[in-house]
Structure 1
Amino acid sequence: MNTFDDKSLPAFALNQIDIPTSEKLAMPSHYTHAPRILLLYGSLRERSFSRFLTEEAARILLHFGAEVRIFDPRDLPIAGSVAESHPKVAELRALSMWSEGQVWCSPERHGTITAVMKNQIDWIPLEHGAMRPSQGRTLAVMQVSGGSQSFNTVNTMRVLGRWMRMFTIPNQSSVAKAYDEFDAAGRMKPSPYYDRLFDVMEELYKFTLLLRERSDYLTDRYSERKQRHVEELKSTAPAVDVI
């Protein structure tokens, strides 16, 4: 049997390579607070089925023991139209930094997410100074449709979640003919859709518990360690007098 045992890495800075081990991934016990979950929905309608589904998801997460926040997208300006200090923008960004997991729920419009949903995501930067408001957070994606079941919207949000460096869980929720799935009070009726929603929130809660303990380690990258090392060397290099 042919084997391959060449471990030479001449192109890499060996002092910046970290070898993953089970010990490094072991769960510490310094977390004492409940998992923090931020929920976003993508409709401004008074009878908003994406909001109803989001609120139902929040109830399940509360039952598991999570601390939840639901962001109200009303009065959030279009991304780029106002300064980042705008109160609604600052609120959304603070909630994203606070969160350890997120739930995104959007109606399907023209085969994709709504402008309301995209606007919220656009206001959460990939980087903000030394902070990364989305990196390392877990993410569950959900959609509601007025017609037959579709997965266009959840697939779009998966792409966005990956771009935002989030851990998007495998399970997802897509509720077809949403107008039939909620009662007059906005509560979800018993159905396979409700069972799937419970499954998704259960999975999100489990992954959030698991990954928040090691989020910093899991998102620690060789390329960034190398760049930090180069910058540290520059900052500590002695000044050279020019004659």
Structure 2
Amino acid sequence: MTDEMPNIDRASLHLPETGKLVLPGEPDHKPRVLMLCGSLRTRSYSRFLTQEAKRVLEALGAEVRIYDPAGLPLVSDDAESHPKVTELRELSLWSEAHVWCSPERHGAMTGVMKTQIDWLPLAPIGGVRPTQGRTLALMQVCGGSQSFNTLNQMRILGRWMRMITIPNQSSVPKAFAEFDESGRMQPSPYYNRMVDVMEELMKFTLLTRGRAEYLVDRYSERVESAEALSLRVNQRSI
């Protein structure tokens, strides 16, 4: 851990104590985290921040996968079966938590970030919604002074996607000054805040993943399902 994360004070990094967060009989595998990054640039500070967060999550006991958005098409009817769309949706179904990290461009998230989110439907895939009930952590990088525009936008989307978006978040201003030539984040309060966010994500994920389906169960959908079943059962044969 010391070699991989030189900015970490190991004595202050506490591993989640699952015994304090979950009930007997709940999942005991590593929390599954999908990370989405909103940039395709070669030297991408949002990707660098995502990679730093991945190291922290793995140190905290998570299984992490970063989706590469290169080649993902814009949303259209004829791209539903595109391999990059299939890959993204399968990763979301696999996951129990997400981390979204985007640069702020023109006061908003990037098109790369929004396209990834747009490809994750609210409708079930194989009977399972690809985002509902999953925890979500948000991060952004800024080219200039600190801003929260992108975080606010992504928080709205997280709610719309029926995700459990954690309260803490990370915004890194003047990102070009926070990473060295190799892409590693330097020690700073911004680094510590990123660690805070990943730590909180892990705790919320452990708290909710065994009961997420119950937490997001909705009366309106149960009524609609009952009505649909009644119509199907009682329809007359032709």
Pick the TM interval, shorter chain: 0.7 to 0.9
CA RMSD of aligned residues (A): 1.6
Following superposition, the deviation at residue 77 of structure 1 comes to 0.9
Q: Of residues 216, 233, 238 in structure 2, which corresponds to 1:236?
A: 233
Measured in 2, the distance between the counterparts of 1:240 and 1:107 equals: 57
Q: How does 1:56-135 map to 2 (within 5 A)?
A: 56-80=52-76, 82-129=78-125, 130-135=127-132
Provide the residue aligned with 2:10 in structure 1: none
Count matched residues: 216
Q: Structure 2 length as normaliser, TM-score?
A: 0.87
| Structure 1 residues 162-187: Cα deviation after superposition (integer angstroms, max 9, x where no partner) | 11110100000000000000111111
Report if the CA contact (8 A) 2:73-2:79 is conserved. Answer: no
Larger radius of gyration: 1
The answer on 1:223 being equivalent to 2:215 is no
Provide the residue aligned with 1:139 in structure 2: 136
Following superposition, the deviation at residue 226 of structure 1 comes to 1.2
Report if the CA contact (8 A) 1:38-1:96 is conserved. Answer: yes
The code of the aligned residue for 1:58 comes to K
SS at 2:79 equivalent: coil
Following superposition, the deviation at residue 240 of structure 1 comes to 7.1
Unaligned runs of 5+ in 1: 1-25
Unaligned runs of 5+ in 2: 1-21
Measured in 1, the distance between the counterparts of 2:36 and 2:158 equals: 13
SS at 2:167 equivalent: coil
Following superposition, the deviation at residue 238 of structure 1 comes to 7.2
- Seen in structure 2, the aligned counterparts of structure 1 residues 194 and 226 have a Cα distance that, compared at 3 Å, is same
Q: Of residues 169, 184, 195 in structure 1, which corresponds to 2:181?
A: 184
State, as a whole percentage, how many aligned pairs show the same letter.
Answer: 63
The code of the aligned residue for 1:89 comes to V
The answer on 1:169 being equivalent to 2:178 is no
Measured in 2, the distance between the counterparts of 1:240 and 1:66 equals: 52
The code of the aligned residue for 2:130 comes to P
Report if the CA contact (8 A) 2:34-2:67 is conserved. Answer: yes
Following superposition, the deviation at residue 78 of structure 1 comes to 1.2
- Seen in structure 2, the aligned counterparts of structure 1 residues 238 and 41 have a Cα distance that, compared at 3 Å, is closer
The code of the aligned residue for 2:227 comes to V
The code of the aligned residue for 2:162 comes to R
